[in-house]
């Protein structure tokens, strides 16, 4: 730190010799314009549009129904593993049965997932409707 103060006389001598730099003529106006642009409020733009949210929710509901149907149909003699899963999916599309037989834990997890998506959709819609044109 002391070395910096020792070189102060040399620095001042160089500044006197070189002179102060002068900004361009429109420097002040460009700075003021950039400040005005920075102060302008930015409108909230939702991450997903309403149409995208509706498609996403419809896909999740459809996936939930398919999972309930496929995973609720299990027999004792069916093969397990990946081939058993593919056979169950294939048999699902052959014989569509709308009776629901599912595990209570699976229902809880699926219900929580659907509720979470609903909460996220509500928050996104609220921000997109209530923040239009308002300064943050």
pLDDT, one tens digit per residue, over 25-36 is 888 888 888 887
Q: pLDDT truncated to tens, each residue of the chain (136 aa)? A: 556 566 777 777 777 777 777 777 888 888 888 887 777 666 777 888 899 999 999 999 988 887 777 666 655 555 666 777 777 777 766 776 566 676 778 888 888 999 999 999 988 888 887 766 554 4
Q: Can you give the three-state secondary structure of the chain, one letter per residue?
A: CHHHHHCHHHHHHHHHHHCCCCCCCCHHHHHHHHHHHHHCCCCCCCCCCHHHHHHHHHHHHHHHHHHHHHHHCCCCCCCCHHHHHHHHHHHHHHCCCCCCCCCHHHHHHHHHHHHHHHHHHHHHHHHHHHCCCCCC
The domain segmentation of the chain, as residue ranges, is: 2-38, 50-130
């Amino acid at each position: 730190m002391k070395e910096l103060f020792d070189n102060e006389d040399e620095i001042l001598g160089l500044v006197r010799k070189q002179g102060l730099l002068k900004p361009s003529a429109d420097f002040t106006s460009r700075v003021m314009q950039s400040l005005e642009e920075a102060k302008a409020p930015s409108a909230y733009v939702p991450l997903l549009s309403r149409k995208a949210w509706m498609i996403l929710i419809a896909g999740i509901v459809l996936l939930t129904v398919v999972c309930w149907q496929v995973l609720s149909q299990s027999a004792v003699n069916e093969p397990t593993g990946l081939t058993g899963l593919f056979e169950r999916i294939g048999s699902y599309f052959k014989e569509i049965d709308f009776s629901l037989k599912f595990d209570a834990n699976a229902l809880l997890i699926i219900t929580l997932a659907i509720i979470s998506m609903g909460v996220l959709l509500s928050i996104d819609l609220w921000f997109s409707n209530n923040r239009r044109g308002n300064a943050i």
